[in-house]
Chains A and B, each alone.
Chain A
Amino acid sequence: MTTLLNVKDLRAYYGQVQALHGLSFSLDEGSLTTLLGANGAGKTTTLRAICNMVRSTGAVEFDGKPLNNRSTENIVRFGIAHVPQGRGTFTTMTVEENLQLGAITRKDSAGIVSDIERMYAHFPVLKQRHTQQAGTLSGGEQQMLAVARALMLRPRLMLLDEPSFGLAPLVVRDLFGILGKINREDKVSILVVEQNAQLALELADQAYVIETGRIVMSGNAKDIANNEEIRKSYLGY
């Protein structure tokens, strides 16, 4: 397996406050990796630092190329699609426009048209609502839209920030099923940040646990799920 994303000694700051204290991890091509941890552990900050949305130091390499000092909008062009916390929906625009925006950096208009159809096949509810303002969608539908928007980039790596947030348990199951399918069939590597550790560990191959800005545990997702001590002390279930 080749390493797709390599993060070394990442430190991030919000003003004077340091949020990440030298965090290192890596993600294999084709894998579905999860970052777990409690509220405020630094999961979101890690994703934001990868896309250069916060001030940070350390090395982030994607496919062997350094991402530091590149602007957020340029990092997208490497094929990294980031679904931010709160989904980042363009609420005043239509569902279809949201999908088109996901592909705004692509030049192949025929491919974009066929990909929109592909997304409608993945998520039939989006097709029903394609002319509707995205803000009128339910939380679950908006999360589907956010994932579809990210896929419109034809990404190599998808970063997902708490996709389960605010969704009903059944909807979350559904969504995670789709994520697994995307990972297997479309060969998109996925890094997913989750508070719902149990569900994330079922889905992922690889897992890291963050506490106060440091990686405290890493390994195979199954092993971590089966280790009662880790579960009790870090994951709370």
Chain B
Amino acid sequence: MELFTNQVLAGIATGAIYACMALAVVMIYQAIDHLNFAQGEMAMFSTFISWQLMQWGIPYWGAFILTLALSFIAGIAIERILFKPLAKAPILTNVAGFIALFAIINSSAGLIWDFTIKQYPTPFGSAPFLGSQLISTHQAGMIGVTVLLLLGLYFFFQYTRVGLAMRAAASVPESARLVGINTSWMIALGWGMATAIGAIAGMLIAPVVFLEPNMMGGVLIYGFAAAVLGGLTSPFGAVVGGFLVGVFENLAGTYIPGVGNELKLPIALALIISVLVVKPAGLFGRQIVKRV
């Protein structure tokens, strides 16, 4: 029983990271109808930036906040420079853009910081949380930060004018323009926020998976799985999906014989395919009906 509780809690902790990645993916998907394959690499690069800032002597939380601000600006810049010109391009052109971005960021990180694995600090420590052996303080911190982030985002989208405008621009762009919303900048803002959310995920998971240019590969796939499971049109669903995937991953790895650590990733992919076959809109997504 203790093993089970332990695995569920650990699953919730990594699920928090998947939830952040899924949320970042969903935010961009809502804005431009494309999956950002480079979301993980952007998060990895942000994490490297924060590591570099700490190497230069800035304390953890200072580096954390500064990285969020830089990531936000970088996200807006990427949208303005690369994806705004592609707004009306066919889907494959956009996919090529995402893959190019993936390759560029991955190689640049390798070029600047090389491919050796680096230790990444945790501000929460790794002692047992509240004296219990079930989860560590870092895992509890991951959950805590994610929950705070989600509450903040909920408040932002539900109770601020900019949040309202962003939701309107994502749901009916033409009407949004007709009430005076600059939808193009709302998309850029979405990119900035998604990049900052990805940065949080990267900085929280880095102490666990260690810092290196390929650290987010697996995490992004789980993030996709979470987003698909929850429904690509629902930020709330993405978060629930994240936690579910985290728990599912851990339980499958523990209890299904032969799965172990090596086969965890195929499980995420199998999950994506099963959801797409059985319930394409996901658990909380809207069924998209198009008039033809």
Which residues on A are within 8 Å of B, measured CB to CB? 51, 53, 71-74, 76-77, 81-82, 84, 88-93, 97, 100-102, 104-105, 149, 153
Closest to B178 in A: A82
- The answer to whether the Cβ of B172 comes within 8 Å of any Cβ in the partner chain is yes
Closest to B158 in A: A97
A-B residue pairs in contact (CB < 8 Å), sample of 13: A53-B177, A77-B180, A88-B172, A88-B174, A88-B178, A90-B171, A92-B171, A93-B167, A93-B171, A100-B164, A101-B165, A104-B161, A153-B180
A84 contacts B178, CB within 8 Å? yes
- The answer to whether the Cβ of B39 comes within 8 Å of any Cβ in the partner chain is no
Contact-residue size bin, chain B (C-beta under 8 Å from the other chain): 10 to 19
Bound-complex Cα distance A206 to B112 (A): 70
B180 contacts A90, CB within 8 Å? no
Bound-complex Cα distance A42 to B144 (A): 57
Give per-residue flags for B158-196: 1 if the beta carbon is below 8 A from chain A beta carbons, else 0. 000100110110011011111111110000000000000
Residues of A within 8 A of B164 (CB): 97, 100-101, 104
Closest to A51 in B: B178
Q: Please report the number of residue pairs spanning A and B whose Cβ atoms sit closer than 8 angstroms.
A: 63
Residues of B within 8 A of A89 (CB): 172, 175
Closest to A88 in B: B175
Residues of A within 8 A of B171 (CB): 90-93
Q: Which of B161, B164, B179: most chain A Cβ within 10 A? A: B179
- The answer to whether the Cβ of B279 comes within 8 Å of any Cβ in the partner chain is no
- The answer to whether the Cβ of B34 comes within 8 Å of any Cβ in the partner chain is no
Bound-complex Cα distance A104 to B177 (A): 11
New A-B contacts (8) at CB < 8 Å, excluding given A76-B179, A90-B171, A90-B176: A77-B180, A81-B178, A84-B178, A88-B174, A90-B168, A93-B168, A102-B179, A104-B168
From the candidates B161, B175, B182, name the one contacting A90 in the complex (CB within 8 A): B175
B165 contacts A104, CB within 8 Å? yes
From the candidates A53, A73, A91, A92, name the one contacting B181 in the complex (CB within 8 A): A73
Bound-complex Cα distance A105 to B183 (A): 13
**Residues 110 to 158 of chain B near chain A (Cβ within 8 Å):** none
